[in-house]
Amino acid sequence: MQRRENNRTIHFLPVAACLVFGCHLLLAQSDISRWPEFHRNDLSKWAAKTGKSVRFLNELTKTATREDAKDVGDGDFPYTIENVDTQSLSQRGQILLSTWAAGTGHCLTLYVLKREGSRFEKVWQSYDNLCTRSILGAAETRAVPNGRIIVKYRKYSADSDPKKDALPILRVAITYKWDGTAYINAGRTERPEPSVSPR
């Protein structure tokens, strides 16, 4: 019995952290009129993190999300920057930008852009379903020195029995590689998340 309670406590901690982050994000973006302020704050945070100017990041994100905003209809497309990497893909003159859409699904979109003079041009955008359950946390991206992009996230095992106390969780990694014109899916791995044993 004690072991079961310890397992629940250990599993609850990341859940609680995700809920706090999710609630903060939802509250910050729930009022669409607050989106410009939220976006400015997000840009400032990433400017401090990357050393790039707010103007640079604003142009980058506007170019990347222009089509997505058009699909929304009112011109407002609330999202949070997940990653900006201006170094790892620089051999091809490319920049990785990834964003989380507002909402509880944490839908991740990858963009690759390049700079053309004073403007940015979108090279590629992911259209894969990279939405995760809030309780498991949002997907994350990184570009690696060989020019590939890796997306990692957690998901429940497809053959899970929801009647059990603890659903098995898988750690998923998807790799994208450049084929000369676009980034293509170069493979996917899934492995069980190690279970945490009580002390």
pLDDT digits (tens, 9 = 90+) for 95-143: 999 999 877 667 999 999 999 888 999 999 999 989 888 888 889 999 9
**Average pLDDT for the chain:** 82
Select from 187, 118, 99 the least CA-distant residue to 148. Answer: 187
pLDDT digits (tens, 9 = 90+) for 31-46: 567 888 999 999 999 9
47 falls in which pLDDT band (50, 70, 90)?
Answer: very high
- Residue for token digits 């079961």? 4
Predicted model pTM: 0.77
73 falls in which pLDDT band (50, 70, 90)?
Answer: low
Segment holding 59, helix H or strand E? helix 54-72
Percent of the chain past pLDDT 90, that is, above it, reads 53
Q: How far apart are CA 152 and CA 137, in angstroms?
A: 11
6 falls in which pLDDT band (50, 70, 90)?
Answer: very low
- Average pLDDT on 89-97 reads 95
CA distances 42 to 25, 39, 51, 58, 138, Å, are 11, 5, 14, 10, 17
**Coil vs helix vs strand at 145:** coil
Backbone angles phi, psi at 60, to 5 degrees: -60, -50
